[in-house]
Amino acid sequence: MCAAGQTGYNHRVDSLRFNEIAAIVQELSQALAGARLEKVYAPHPLACLLKLREAWLLLDFTPGLTRVHLVTARPDAPKVPPAWVMKLRRELVGRFLGSVSQHPGDRIVRLAFPAAGRRPARTLVAELFGKHGRLLLLTENDAVLAAAIGEGAGGQAYLPPERRAARTEDSRLPAPDPEALSANREAERLLSGLALSRQLEAQRRTLQAELAREGKRLQRKATALEADLERARGGALSMRQGEALKASLADIQRGQTCVVLPDPSATGGGPEAGTLVVALDPALTPVQNMQRLFARGRRLLAAVAAIGERLAGVRDEMKKVQERTAAVTGALTLDDLARARGGPASFRPKTGHRPGPRRPYHRYTSVTGRSILVGRSGKDNHALTFQVARGSDLWLHTRDAPGAHVVVPLDKNEECDPQTLLDAATLAANGSPLKNDSRVEVTYTHAKNVHPIKGAPPGLVSVARGKTILVRLDPERIRRLLESKEK
C-alpha cells in the first residue's frame, strides 16, 4: 500500500516490457540456476529482494515501474520486515533455485524451488504488470499458499491471467549475455534512474502541497489581520467623535440616535467640511455616550501596535514559505529536497493569541516530513477516524489490542512512503498496551475501509482489507517521533 509509486505515469512505457523481461530471464536462468536462497528483504512494501548466492535479485511491483533484475548492491530495507517477508523466509530461505522462466506470452516470471528433504516444492510467481503486479507463493500443486504482494485467495489453484497478445516494442536493453549480464545491468541503470526520478517528484509534490496549504493558511490569517488593523485604526475617529461630543454636551438630549457636530480637528474649509456624524445610543446619557466613544477609541488604538506586530510576523512567515517553495521547486536531487524539507508546523508564527478548539489528535512528523495524527482517547479516536480522516488517508491500529487510532493524511491516489509507514506504525504500537513488547503487529489500510460498530463504545471499529506490518519498537525512533510532537 505504501510505496514510492504514484499515479500519473505511463505504465506501459516505464515498466519492463515483455521482450525486456525475456532478455533478463534468459540471463538469470543461467546465472542463478542452482543458487541457494540466503536472504529475503522488502526494500519497500511493494518490492521483494532475494539474495541468491552473491547476487541480489529485485522484484519491484511499484505501479508503473514493475521490474525484475539483478542489482549491484542491496537497497536499504526497514529493520522490521512486514509479515509477508517473514512468511517467505520460513518457506524459502535455504532452498536452491531450480529454474527461472517466463510464462509464454506475458510478463509473468516463475522462480521454482524444488522439493528438498521434507520440504515440498515451492514456486514464486511474479506478475509484472504495469498497474496491478502481484507476488504469489505457490505450493507444489500450484495452489496459492500466500499472497506476498497484491491479492490472492489462499488454497485456490493458481491460474495465470488470460493470455495477452505480446506487443511488438523496441527493447531498451542490449542483447542477453549470461556472462556479462548486460541486460540486467542496463535494466538496473535505466529503471533505478526512473525510480529515483519518481521518488524525487513524489516527495517534491508532497512538500509543494504542504507548502501550498501553509501559504493559504497564512494568507487567510494576513487578510483577517489586515481587516482587524483597519478596524483598529478607526479608533482615531472614535476619539474625534468623543471630543466633538464633549464640546457639545449642553446641546444634546438623551434619546437622540444621531447628531452632526463640528469636527474639533478640522481646520479651514466650509461649514460642511468640518462636521462629524456621531451615532448615539438613545438609552445612554450624552456623557455616557461620550465615555463609550473614548473607551472604544483607546481600546482600538492600543490594539493597532499589537495587530501590526502580528501581521508583520505572518508576512515574514509567508516570505519564508515562498522561499522554501522556490527551493523545493528547484531541487534537482533528494539531498536538495532534504535541505528544503520542513513540515507546516515549522512555519507557524508564535503569536500570543489564544489557541483554537481542542483537536482530537496529537500531530507528529515522520522522518520524511509527513504529518502523522494520533488519537488522544477512545472518543477522540472515533472523531479522528470518522470526522477528520478522509477516505484516501492511511489508517493504522495495533492488531488484536486496544490503542490509539493513527492517521497519515494522503491525497487521492497518493502512496505513503515506507519510512512514514514505519513511523506511523511505531506510534500506533507505542500508544497501546503492547508498547513494552519487543515486536508488535499493526494493521493498516485506507480510512475508507474502516467502519464504526453499531452500539459499540467510541473507537471500536471494523476493518476491511487490512494489511499487517510487524514493528520492532526502536527506542531511538520513538524518541525522535516524540520530540517531533507539535506543541
Same domain, 396 and 314: no
Write the pLDDT tens digit of every residue in 3-60.
333 334 444 458 889 899 999 999 999 999 899 999 999 988 889 999 998 899 999 9
Half-sphere exposure of 445 (CA within 13 A, CB side): 17
Instruction: Express each pLDDT in 58-116 by its tens digit.
Output: 999 988 889 999 998 887 777 788 889 999 999 999 999 999 999 988 899 999 999 99
Answer whether residue 17 is part of any domain: yes
What residues have CB less than 8 Å from 370, skipping those under 6 apart?
Answer: 206, 343, 408, 409, 416, 417, 420
Domain count, the chain: 3
- Residue from 92, 95, 100 nearest 32 by CA: 100
- Which residue has 489528535 as its cell numbers? 361
* C-alpha cell of residue 381: 479516536
**Cα gap 100→50, rounded to integer Å:** 13
Q: Output DSSP code: residue 259.
A: E
Instruction: Give the residue from 26, 331, 55, 351 showing the smallest Cα distance to 199.
Output: 331
Verify that 224 and 322 share a domain, yes or no: yes
Residues 145 and 222 in one domain: no
Range of the domain at 368: 359-483
- Asked if pLDDT for residue 272 goes beyond 60, the answer is no
- Confidence tier at 300 by pLDDT (50, 70, 90): confident
Alpha-carbon distance values, 35 to 38, 56, 93, 137, 253 (Å)? 9, 11, 11, 18, 106
Same domain? For 96 and 151 the reply is: yes
Last residue of a domain, one of 313, 329, 345: 329
- Are the C-beta atoms of 425 and 366 separated by less than 8 Å? no
- What is the structure's pLDDT at 475? 86
Q: Is position 377 within any domain?
A: yes
For residues 384 and 474, membership in a common domain is answered with yes
Residue 340 lies in a domain: no
- What mean pLDDT is predicted for residues 436-449? 91
Residue 202 lies in a domain: no
Residue 310 lies in a domain: yes
The string of pLDDT tens digits covering residues 115-151 is 998 999 999 999 998 777 899 999 999 999 999 998 8
Question: Which residue would you say has higher pLDDT here, 4 or 219?
Answer: 219
Q: Which of 205, 197, 176 is nearest to 64 (CA)?
A: 197
Please check whether residue 28 lies inside any domain of the structure.
Answer: yes
Judge if 253 and 105 occupy the same domain.
no
- Domain C-terminal end among 157, 180, 203: 180
**Which of helix, strand or coil describes residue 264?**
coil
Q: Is residue 254 part of a domain?
A: yes
Q: Are residues 134 and 17 in the same domain?
A: yes
State residue 144's pLDDT score: 94
Identify whether residues 325 and 364 lie together within a single domain.
no
Q: What is the pLDDT of residue 126?
A: 96
- Residue 382 and residue 403: Cα distance in Å, rounded? 12
For 354-385, write each residue's pLDDT tens digit.
445 678 999 999 887 789 999 998 889 999 99
394 and 462 in a common domain: yes
pLDDT of 166 reads: 56
Q: What are the backbone angles phi and psi of residue 103, rounded to the nearest 5°?
A: -65, 135
* Cβ-based neighbours of 139, under 8 Å, separated by 6 or more: 120, 121, 122, 145
pTM value surpassing 0.85: no
| Cβ-proximal residues to 236 (8 Å cutoff; 6+ apart), any chain | 297, 301
- In terms of domains, do 304 and 364 share one? no
